Structure 1
Amino acid sequence: MKKTSLTLLALGVMASGGAAQASDKSLVIGTNNWAENIAVANMWKILLEEDHAYDVELSDVGKSVLYSGLANGDFDLSLEIWLPTTDAPFLEPHRDSIDVHDVWYEGTGLGLVVPSYAEIDSIPELAAQADRYQYQGRSAILGIDPGSAIASLTEKAIEAYELPMNQINSSGPAMMAALDSAYRSGEPLVVTLWSPHWAFAEYDLKYLEDPQGVYGDNEDIYWMARPDLDADDPWLTSLLNAWKMDDDSLGSLMARIEEVGDPAEGARGWIHDNRDLIDSWYVAAAD
């Protein structure tokens, strides 16, 4: 992977007005398979390539590989780390080798989710009604890949609440397909889910109350990078530090991608419709 050494224009350059000039602007962005991560990674790839002549590679890897890759310099940056709880175990072994930068989304959610028509409101209630919440013929919680932080927390929740259930790990799309099928049929199903996620715009869902706090309190999403990225590319660091999204902006980006069915095409359409927001990041980066 080539490192960047950039000749920068003023920080006030706008997305529609030209790119910083340099002969070598290659970036590798480490990604994972969460819906919001796919959305913002494709958004930034398009912005940096089409507006600023970067060469951006998106590398989809597991969480452990993502953090070790950043620490080793195999990746330049990654756009999502949940703190102070969810991703702390992944960061801890590399705390001195990864730079955690600014928050771009405040107030996440994480936990067990059911359709709002489900007649339970808490995880302890789930323990008493576990036989009603089945997947593929057995009492189960349907989750995402086993290397994810939410999968690990769900195993802790199963133990803490003595749930007579197993976690079935799947891909994010497979989990959402199962949720869609159950929802349309009015059937009970419990899944692991997080906010921000486009599902909350498409379905009427609710988090199960977690009185023991296994899933932690609401968190914030930061971006992170190899330690020398700031020195190599201060323009990019300033821009990403100025980047902010909320439920409306991020939800609309994810919903556009889900509707179109292609991350790049969906992100490109969203960018076209949200230039004022994007330009505000450039203005903030210049301050």
Structure 2
Amino acid sequence: MKWKTLSKLGLTLGLGLLLAACGSDETKKNTKEVNLAYVEWDTEIASTHVVGQVLEDLGYEVTLTPLDNAIMWEAVSKGEADGMVAAWLPHTHAQQYEKYKANLEELGENLAGAKIGLVVPSYMNVDSIEDLTNEADHTITGIEPGAGITAATEKALGEYDNLADWNLLTSSSGAMTTALAQALKNEEDIIVTGWSPHWKFAKYDLKYLDDPKGVYGGEETINTFARKGLKEDQPDVYTVLDNFHWTSEDLENVMLEIMDGKEPKQAAKDWIAANTDKVAEWTKDVTKE
């Protein structure tokens, strides 16, 4: 997750510029232009680039627009973006889902088995949120303020009595993983807001802390949403989005390639080349011109 921290005003202005090409409802019909919105989390960078590349290979001119989480939902609900494959439900994005779901086409899950919570190095002698005392200077290292996991962690600080005097340090996903890597290198205590799938679980020996109060919810899914009218305007795009489904292993493979320095677009191309059978399932119902 390499987040670009921008003010909401800046994001809104940027959204207007980036999505201006979408034009009116009339120009959307039968166009070969597609705009996919996403949040700059490692998971969503990987998945959105893969779906975008599949559509590009089908002959579409694809724009991938990184946005703040709330603005991503708003953009698709207003038809300013065509779709997203980045919705974490039922817990992480519950607030945005309730606010915007009436104006969205819900296409279902594209990945099962996702999870969020507090994560620590396995060498730390703590297994539950209730076990935390004074580790890491009473600090939880988080990501950006607008993320669902940030809201859940703020709730945890109020729900767990032992966290009453703890602080949540918000920053970005990139800053969080940098801090995690540094702490692991020095075998220091650190508590981070974590989620899976994520490459950090493949790279480091980590564990989730038990959450007896259920603040972070249970297993989640990552879901796909489209703007209203996409099925009629661009049925093949709708079909690919609707058929898109893969596994945590698939996603983590792409994330690791990107984390190791490969450009997201190239990582997507390489995964597609190595998984033609899965891509064929996503595109099997596409109209042949």
Q: Same fold (TM over 0.5)?
A: yes
Give the match for residue 27 of structure 1: 34
CA distance in structure 2 between the partners assigned to 1:233 and 1:155 by the alignment:
41
Deviates more, 1:269-278 or 1:146-155: 269-278
Once the two structures are TM-superposed, the CA of residue 285 in structure 1 deviates from its matched residue by: 7.0
Identity %: 34
Once the two structures are TM-superposed, the CA of residue 121 in structure 1 deviates from its matched residue by: 0.3
* Alignment RMSD: 1.6
One-letter code aligned to 2:281: S
SS state at 2:102 partner? coil
Assess if the C-alpha contact under 8 Å between 2:55 and 2:237 holds in 1: no
Unpaired stretches in structure 1, ≥5 consecutive residues:
7-23
Assess if the C-alpha contact under 8 Å between 1:35 and 1:254 holds in 2: yes
CA distance in structure 2 between the partners assigned to 1:185 and 1:65 by the alignment:
38
More helix per residue = 2
CA distance in structure 1 between the partners assigned to 2:105 and 2:267 by the alignment:
30
Once the two structures are TM-superposed, the CA of residue 181 in structure 1 deviates from its matched residue by: 1.1
Could you report, residue by residue, the CA deviation over 1:143-188 in whole angstroms, capped at 9, with x for unpaired residues? Answer: 1100010000000011111312111111111111111111122111
CA distance in structure 2 between the partners assigned to 1:284 and 1:121 by the alignment:
47
Could you report, residue by residue, the CA deviation over 1:258-286 in whole angstroms, capped at 9, with x for unpaired residues? Answer: 11342122222222222222223234779
CA distance in structure 1 between the partners assigned to 2:159 and 2:286 by the alignment:
45
Give the match for residue 123 of structure 1: 129
CA distance in structure 1 between the partners assigned to 2:175 and 2:276 by the alignment:
33
Give the match for residue 3 of structure 2: none
CA distance in structure 1 between the partners assigned to 2:83 and 2:127 by the alignment:
39
Deviates more, 1:24-33 or 1:209-218: 24-33
Could you report, residue by residue, the CA deviation over 1:198-253 in whole angstroms, capped at 9, with x for unpaired residues? Answer: 11111111000000000001011111111111121222222222221112111111
Give the match for residue 133 of structure 1: 136
Give the match for residue 277 of structure 1: 278
Q: How many residues align?
A: 261
Q: Superposed, which structure 2 residues align to 1:1-287 within 5 Å?
A: 1-2=22-23, 3-6=27-30, 24-49=31-56, 51-126=57-132, 128=133, 130=134, 132-134=135-137, 139-162=138-161, 163=163, 164-283=165-284
Assess if the C-alpha contact under 8 Å between 1:260 and 1:266 holds in 2: no
- TM norm structure 2: 0.86
Unpaired stretches in structure 2, ≥5 consecutive residues:
1-21
CA distance in structure 1 between the partners assigned to 2:62 and 2:285 by the alignment:
23
